[in-house]
Amino acid sequence: ASPNRFLPTTKNRQRWNVEKGIRRSLRQVIHVREKTAEIEKSSRYGIDLLDLLMSENKEQVGGNLKNIASLTVEEVIDECKTVLPCRSRNKISPLDMDHNIVGYTSRLARAMIAERCWKCSGKNSYLDADNLSHLKIVGMILNETLRLYPPAVFPQRQTYKPMKLGRLSIPAGIQLMLPILAIHHDPTLWGHDAEDFNPERFCE
């Protein structure tokens, strides 16, 4: 990364102000959800991604909430900043690829329809978040699509404090880059058919 990003230029100052505004807004949302959960004596903070991240910090122990500090507030904010922009820019592409692939593979389409009818029969006729989590074939297809066509192909992280990564000691302020696309297409990890669409690799 260019060292110019540390200079107080007009563009950098605008970027820093946006960064501060985003973090401030997310802290406010987290604070409101924590207060609401505390008042309602609930272990849930909502029904979305932020709920899942915040729930990582709590566990139900004898009816009381115990802080297990899996993620700090700043780490929750960093995860939201990473996932939400990717979702808004790239959420259409994986779904489009799913539709195209399933459309050309009648066997997959029939299996998905049969699974949906079986899981959502009777009283649970509507496809909601609880039912969706039990659709194994749909999950396999989504996982394989995201493996072949990941929304973020080269994500970057910057350490905000000294940390250990395996045997490496990394100081604060270092840019880390992860070649997701290369990892997802690596035959040593996925086998000789790494370039093929094969949802059954996620059957376990």
* The pLDDT of residue 204: 72
**In 10 A of CB 80, how many CB atoms?**
19
pLDDT tens per residue, range 160-194 = 899 998 898 999 999 988 899 999 999 999 999 99
Say how far apart CA 36 and CA 202 lie, in whole Å.
38
Please indicate, yes or no, whether the overall pTM of this predicted structure exceeds 0.75: no
Structural domain boundaries in the chain: 1-90
Residues of the chain with confidence (pLDDT) below 70: 1-2, 42-48, 56-70, 83-106, 119-131
pLDDT in tens, 74-94: 888 887 777 665 444 444 556
pLDDT at 190: 94
